[in-house]
Amino acid sequence: MNLQKITEILATEPAYRLKQVKRAVFVDLISNWSQVTNLALALREKLNAECSLVIDGQLVQGQADNNVQKAILILADGLKIETVLMRHKTGRQTVCVSSQVGCALACAFCATGQNGFKRNLSADEIVEQVLFFQRVLKKENCRVNNVVFMGMGEPLLNYDAVLAAIKTINDPLALGIGMRHISVSTVGIIENIKKLAAEDLQINLALSLHAPNDELRSKIMPINKKFALNEVLKVMDFYASQTNRRVMLEYIMIKDFNDQPEQAQELVGLIKKSFKAENQKLVFVNLIVYNPTGIFKPATDSVIKEFHDYLMQEGIDATIRFRFGNDINAACGQLVYGKNNLD
């Protein structure tokens, strides 16, 4: 799909045409222009020739987890990306989109980074991931209602495309998903968090924190050597002040690495030191059950619970995110470019 091209082709048409066409693509979910019968035949043919709506992808169905579906999409240049649909018991449908092919950050716990970086995705390639699942869900009379930028890649290292994709995902004439139902997760690219705060978008921002001090964080996240933790948290505090939105701190629980009472204490201290008192109520910690991808072991359930309870007792809001999509390698940090499924 090439939204820009579609807009250019329709430039000579009356303005309402673009609206009709967006509706056809994003609401009626057509995959062939011949379905838009209110367009002249020649225009339909031109659009089919120059702006194909085919999304080349394949669904991978989990067995134990029917509530998670992974799709592998094949891009125009043959590269593959993965995208995940999570069906929550509450009836919400969340799509977890990738923002890059691979990832340059090489976090020690994450499978995506271990394969290196190929390229940024375009805004349309990001939007297509949501569209792909919107088409799947249409058959069940359902729609995507949440989008999280938590798939492959670092969204804030592909800022312009991610921002443009967010706008299309939110556009009432396109996917119409509310800003408050869109979340971006980042390792903490300081300049771009500042930029994002200035956009005044009302989206949710999550920081992949994973450790309560620089020494520990640098061991698992090489990017920490570039952006020190206190600077990153300062800018998260700024984001909270600017937007008054809740900010999520993601913390993967790794056995005997960052899961001890000592680290829980340090984390509480870090949050209290980094966020202004009035912003502390906007902060919540999401403790993530580590999906094994290599060298580390997951923390035990009882240790995670203790860690969680300690944070709560200290007045820091915390939740535990359980495994989702483990059996099809669709869980956090397990996405690689189609490696284990199509090659």
Residue number with CB closer to ligand SAH (220 or 282)? 220
183 binds ligand SAH (CB under 6 A): no
Tell me the closest approach of the beta carbon of residue 20 to ligand SAH, in angstroms. Answer: 36
Identity of the residue, 275 or 290, whose beta carbon is nearer to ligand SAH in the bound complex: 290
For residues 140 and 93, give the distance between their C-alpha atoms in angstroms, rounded to a whole number: 12
Burial of 172 (0-12, 13-18, 19+ CB in 10 A): exposed
**What share of residues in the chain are helix, strand, coil (percent, to 5)?**
40, 20, 40
- E strands, 51-155, in order: 57-61, 68-74, 80-87, 93-96, 100-102, 117-120, 146-149
- Sign of the dihedral through C-alpha 207, 213, 214, 218: negative
Per-residue contact flags (x/-) with ligand SAH for residues 91 to 130, judged by CB under 6 A: ------------------xx--------------------
User: What residues are labeled active site?
Assistant: 82, 332
Report how many residues bind ligand SAH under the rule CB under 6 A. 16
Q: Which of residues 219-278 bind ligand SAH (CB under 6 A)?
A: 250, 252
The residue (of 57 and 333) whose beta carbon lies closer to ligand SAH is 333
Q: How many residues does the chain have?
A: 343
> Residue number with the shortest CB distance to ligand SAH?
333
Per-residue contact string for residues 274-293; x = within reach of ligand SAH by CB under 6 A: --------------x-xx-x
Cβ atoms within 10 Å, residue 171: 14
| Cα–Cα distance, 94 to 91 (Å, whole number) | 10
Q: Does 187 bind ligand SAH (CB under 6 A)?
A: yes
What residues make contact with ligand SAH under the rule CB under 6 A?
Answer: 109-110, 150, 154, 185-187, 208, 250, 252, 288, 290-291, 293, 332-333
